[in-house]
Amino acid sequence: MRMKLSVKRTVDRWFNKIAKNPALSVTVSILWLMLIGWVAFGWNLGNIGLIDETEPLFAEASRQMFVTGDWITPFFNGDTRFDKPALIYWCQAIAFHLIGVNEWAVRLPSAIAAFGLVCLAFYTIQWYLTKQDELEQVSRPTRRYLISFIAAALMALNPETIIWARTGVSDMLLTGCMGSALLCFFLGYAGKESRGAGEQGSRGAELITNALFPNKWYLAFYVLIAGAILTKGPVGIVLPGLIVGAFLLYVGKVREVLREMNLFIGILIILGLSVPWYALVIWRNGWNYINSFFGYHNLERFTEVVNGHSAPWYFYFVIVLLGFAPYSVYLPASIIRLKFWQRSHWRSLERFQQFGLFAWFWFASIFVFFCIAVTKLPSYVLPLMPAAAILVALLWSDLFPNTENENDTEKLLDNSSSSPRIPIPASLVWSGWVNVVFLSFLATALFNLTHILGTDPAISNFHELIQQSGIPVIAGVIWLVCAVLVAGFLLIRRWNYVISINLIGFVAFLIFVLTPALFFIDRERQLPLRELSAVVLEAKQPDEELIMLGFKKPSVVFYSHIHVNYLGFPQEALQHIKNQAAKGLKPASVLLLAEQKKFLQMDLQPDDYKSLSTKGAYNLVRVPFKKKKNEKIDIS
């Protein structure tokens, strides 16, 4: 017990020293953010090839912008690509200019967006806890720093964020813009109150309200909303508008806040930054762009099933459970803790004290919105993950005492029968045991991973290779050990260590399981295509066509830098070759990249083609234009 008290007092003294030294405080905060940012977003970011299907579509469209200088209309494989607005392509093209055309440059915008969001959230939570200490007239630097560190780690170190921050698509850029915009709104909203204290503050608040431009945080909010619109379109303003509107309506401050935000100026800022590109792309492409982007990729995705992406009503419950694992088990307790249904209570609080309520509206609005949408994808709920991290971090902040004497905190945190001053909520107790069950279930599933996973046509002996790698065993052991440790800490009532075990377990899982698994998938699934792309670059004759038969792998377009003609069926490919031969084209051959099964179905004889390379499940051959030899082959 004395050792336990000694360690706790040492930690308290250390954080007190940090709090009293601004330079040290900034240094420690930056080092912590850099550490988790590198582990979560930077480590091995560009050492794995692009992953089919979606990532290479963005990468090649950005490369086309970089090569052609056309920064208005995105193209992929010779066709316009109207799926997403231009900001993600601009960011990747700029990265190509700075560090070259490679995987690092493709993923750097996503990683930077995620890191920037985590940093702003860290600042916001620390600001909120500082304001809370000032209101209660206490000094709790240990609480302030530890909860900020935990919140930043929770936001960065979860499966959903890790996946999309390391993938060169628009989802994390949208989340970065939208999440940062919402945090800026709250800082502007809550910070406005402090200016109204006292006579001088009242005059300052009046001047700010009557000023032409809103305060810096509201200004940043408007700029980031414009960025979100340029990243994914109308959803970039619809979701933040829904969240902010619902929150202000609930706390009864709609008119008051809209006035201080200078909404008219804000709308002009948003339109001025986002509309010019939309005007140019519509001017150049007309109704083709309007129907494709606004019609198909926005309206139809919300009202109809697009590309077969349908799912049952409980789909996003599962995605949040697994995507924010292992901390997702604490979300119910985090939400219950708020008692958000007590509207009169929340309306009576000062603005900054409504931070938890704001995070709840952030989480719930996005969750409900996409549950209503007909098309469902796991990435759609990525923007609610920061709110989930904030909610869980605030739950853990309750485990710190309301006392100015940090040396007495150990008695309170121990929660023993002799120190009942901090009662642990029942919801947190049962959440802890649900945590144990969840981790045990996760470990069991990973031990039996080869029986759960389906087959991969690109990897013939997929299950055997996974088992030989030892990844399922390592993953299962990590989470089983975490389950045992969490159960042990619950039994001895060391509640404040439970979340740390989950975080350490996830870091171990990332380092020893997720990263090796990604390298394994890249080696077995993507490396053959990159190697064949290199062969294509070397063997391709001028104006020779490349046909991809039976599958679509956009990474070949990115790595080979040439147009690919996608054909679905062997007979379709034979007919196409026959038609090309009839035109008398030069050179008198085509390159054919096909899965081995599809290639065999073409019934080509050995003298009808020349094998160039075989990698993994794929064959690359050259098919010369020849006269008809038999009934099976007609490519004259």
Instruction: Assess whether pLDDT exceeds 90 at residue 468.
Output: no
Position 15 confidence tier, pLDDT thresholds 50, 70, 90: low
Position 408 confidence tier, pLDDT thresholds 50, 70, 90: very low
Rounded to whole angstroms, the maximal C-alpha distance in the chain is 97
**pLDDT tens, residue by residue, 230-269:** 999 999 999 999 999 999 999 999 999 999 999 999 999 9
Reduce the secondary structure of 300-350 to three states and give it as a string.
HHHHCCCCCCCCCCCHHHHHHHHHCCCHHHHHHHHHHHHCCCCHHHHHHCC
Lowest model confidence (mean pLDDT) among 45-49, 377-381, 416-420: 416-420
Which helix (H) or strand (E) segment is 372 a member of? helix 355-372
Cα-to-chain-centroid distance, residue 164: 4
Pick the residue with more confidence: 461 or 223?
223
Instruction: Assess whether pLDDT exceeds 50 at residue 11.
Output: yes
* Entry pTM: 0.91
**pLDDT tens, residue by residue, 210-221:** 567 778 999 999
- Separation between Cα atoms, residue 46 and residue 105, nearest integer Å: 8
Instruction: Assess whether pLDDT exceeds 80 at residue 515.
Output: yes
**pLDDT tens, residue by residue, 320-369:** 999 999 999 999 999 999 999 999 999 999 999 999 999 999 999 999 99
Pick the residue with more confidence: 202 or 322?
322
Position 601 confidence tier, pLDDT thresholds 50, 70, 90: confident
Instruction: Assess whether pLDDT exceeds 90 at residue 410.
Output: no
Burial of 443 (0-12, 13-18, 19+ CB in 10 A): buried
How far from 289 is each of 7, 86, 312, 524, CA to CA, in Å?
A: 63, 13, 31, 38
The SS3 call for residue 80 is: strand
- Separation between Cα atoms, residue 3 and residue 99, nearest integer Å: 51
Question: What local confidence, expressed as pLDDT, does residue 419 receive?
Answer: 41
Residues 6+ apart with CB under 8 A from 483: 436, 439, 440, 443
Instruction: Assess whether pLDDT exceeds 60 at residue 491.
Output: yes
Instruction: Assess whether pLDDT exceeds 70 at residue 622.
Output: yes
Question: What local confidence, expressed as pLDDT, does residue 173 receive?
Answer: 97
Instruction: Assess whether pLDDT exceeds 50 at residue 605.
Output: yes
Query: Helices in 448-497 by DSSP H: which ranges?
Result: 449-452, 462-469, 471-491
Question: What local confidence, expressed as pLDDT, does residue 588 receive?
Answer: 86
Please provide the average confidence, as pLDDT, over all residues in the chain.
Answer: 88
Reduce the secondary structure of 177-246 to three states and give it as a string.
HHHHHHHHHHHHHHHHHHHCCHHHHHHHHHHHHHCCCCCHHHHHHHHHHHHHHHHHCCHHHHHHHHHHHH
Instruction: Assess whether pLDDT exceeds 70 at residue 7.
Output: no
- Separation between Cα atoms, residue 534 and residue 559, nearest integer Å: 7
Question: What local confidence, expressed as pLDDT, does residue 564 receive?
Answer: 93
- What pairs with residue 594 in β-bridges? 549, 619
Position 150 confidence tier, pLDDT thresholds 50, 70, 90: very high
Question: What local confidence, expressed as pLDDT, does residue 399 receive?
Answer: 82
Report angle CA 287, 288, 290 to the nearest 5 degrees.
60
Question: What local confidence, expressed as pLDDT, does residue 633 receive?
Answer: 44
Q: Which of 220, 296, 202 is nearest to 261 (CA)?
A: 220
- Do β-strands 589-595 and 618-624 pair in parallel, antiparallel, or remain unpaired? antiparallel
- Cis status of the peptide bond prior to 214, with omega within 30 of 0: no
Rounded to the nearest 5°, which phi and psi values hold at 339? 50, 55
Query: Of all residues in the chain, what percent carry a pLDDT higher than 70?
Result: 90
- Do β-strands 75-76 and 545-549 pair in parallel, antiparallel, or remain unpaired? unpaired
**pLDDT tens, residue by residue, 562-583:** 999 999 888 898 888 888 888 8
DSSP string, 577-616: HHHHHHTT-SSSEEEEEEEHHHHHHTT--GGG-EEEEEET
Q: Which of 144, 128, 224, 215 is nearest to 178 (CA)?
A: 224
Instruction: Assess whether pLDDT exceeds 60 at residue 626.
Output: yes
How far from 536 is each of 77, 581, 596, CA to CA, in Å?
A: 16, 21, 17
Lowest model confidence (mean pLDDT) among 12-16, 176-180, 435-439, 539-543: 12-16
How far from 1 is each of 5, 6, 7, 11, 15, CA to CA, in Å?
A: 6, 9, 10, 15, 21
Residue 224 identity (one-letter amino acid): L
Residue 424 is classified by DSSP as P
Q: Which of 584, 621, 615, 578 is nearest to 600 (CA)?
A: 621
Reduce the secondary structure of 434-449 to three states and give it as a string.
HHHHHHHHHHHHHHCH
- Separation between Cα atoms, residue 164 and residue 324, nearest integer Å: 13
Position 401 confidence tier, pLDDT thresholds 50, 70, 90: low
Question: What local confidence, expressed as pLDDT, does residue 451 receive?
Answer: 82
- Separation between Cα atoms, residue 329 and residue 342, nearest integer Å: 24
Residue 234 identity (one-letter amino acid): P
